[in-house]
Amino acid sequence: MVRFVEDLPVIETRSNSLLLKPSDIQPSRDDFEVVGVFNPAVAMIGDELYMLARVAERAAESRVGWTALPLQTLSGTIEIEWFRDVDLHVVDARVVALKKNDDLRLTSVSHMQLFRSTNRSGTDWEFVSAILPEGRWETYGIEDPRITKIESTFWITYVAVSPMGAATALMSTSNFVTFDRHGIIFSCENKDVVLFPSRIAGDFVALHRPNPHSHFSPPQIWLARSPDLIHWGRHEFVLGGMHAWEGDRVGSGTPPILCDEGWLTLYHGSNRSNIAGTVGCYSAGALLLDRDQPSRVLARTSEPIMQPATEFEKNGFVPNVVFPTAMLDRGDELQIFYGAADTCVASAQFSKQSVLDSLVRQDQSK
């Protein structure tokens, strides 16, 4: 039962655990360095856990006055292009803009690596395989997977980045040995797509994050429906950033789980940075959606339930980031897997009831 209260209780959480860090990952090439392993998707098969994590790499070589920008060619190899610093505008640690045309480029290129844990708590992980970018829509890398099991198939949404922008693509697997790619399902600019684990009123349902260049309103999360997981439409607004901690960015985090009270999910938000070349602090909140009308917000947290606090969350490639991307329902507890500072994979455990108790009822008359 959700106890909606005005004086929010302290969220009960166990100490956060650091699971993977860049030094645990072997670079894909001798001339590369791994700058981050983060934003993991997690699924369970029997007593084993499988994790798909984003691995970001960049050139190990440095040249004074120059910046190396990697990209994946259509032939499958990664090339390094060198640009003079004076010809670039630094957007943040992740992105630069070419001054000649304002085109954006990433300072690293990402692929995904699959890990397995035979420990149900997910504290020990072994490398299984790598999934590399493919084709023209993934020339700047593949990022931020989420896994949802629907019937007997695991569906994986992920971000495909190219000169066209950031789009969302789909792949699937039944065994985490072979993977089928299904192409782009949400065109640029759209990311942070999470799938619901069952049909609702006969439809597949997803939360997604349009990312328009023109900002007429605060950042938003929308909902879409599909007959087949490929073709999406009937879009509906779900929520916008209401508070300072989610005023600059807001997006889905973990695929929803069904509770007695409705669909429970975590989402991320970031505030605005007042320092040029940096991004704001990323935190996480909780959201409860109606089980039959999932575009209807029943309750949400007004304050974050997760904020950067540990050394590995506050310091890294992008400082001050907690970015939840997977949530396992363990009865009375929720195990959250998240990216920390765009550098590491970590996990935390919460009392499910304390998360539900932190929710603030929304005015349904609006």
Examine residue 51 and state whether it is found in any structural domain, yes or no. Answer: yes
Counted residue by residue, the chain has a size of: 366
Residue 357 carries which DSSP code? H
Q: Tell me, yes or no, whether 8 lies in a domain.
A: no
CB contact set of 205 (below 8 Å; sequence gap of 6+):
195, 196, 199, 223, 224, 225, 226, 294
CA angle in degrees (0–180, nearest 5) for 132-133-136: 160
Is residue 366 assigned to a domain? no
The answer as to whether 1 is a domain residue is no
51-77 core/surface letters (b: 16 or more CB in 10 A; e: else): bbbbbbbbbeeeeeeebbbbbbeeeee
Burial, 119: exposed, middle or buried (Cβ in 10 Å; 0-12, 13-18, 19+)? exposed
Structural domains of the chain, count = 1
- 344: in domain: yes
Note whether residue 243 is domain-resident.
yes
Measure the CA–CA gap between 332 and 282, rounded to whole angstroms.
Answer: 26
Tens of pLDDT, residue by residue over 264-274, are 999 999 999 98
Specify if 130 maps to a domain: yes
Residue 312 · residue 341 · CB < 8 Å: yes
Core vs surface per residue 211-225: b (16+ CB within 10 A) or e: beeeeeebbbbbbbb
Mean pLDDT by 10 residues, the chain (366 residues): 41 78 96 97 95 97 97 89 97 95 96 95 93 95 98 98 96 97 96 98 97 78 98 96 91 97 97 89 97 98 95 97 97 97 97 95 67
What CATH number does the domain containing 179 carry? 2.115.10.20
What is the Cβ-side half-sphere exposure of residue 314, based on CA atoms within 13 angstroms? Answer: 5
Question: 217 in helix, strand or coil?
Answer: coil
**Other CB atoms closer than 10 Å to residue 47's CB: what's the count?**
9
Please give the pLDDT value at position 364: 60
pLDDT of amino acid 87: 98
Domain coverage including residue 58:
17-361
Q: Is 225 among the domain residues?
A: yes
Say whether pTM exceeds 0.85.
Answer: yes
The distance of Cα 342 from the centroid of its chain, to the nearest Å, equals 10
**Cβ(37)–Cβ(27) under 8 Å?**
no
Cα Rg, the chain, nearest whole Å? 20
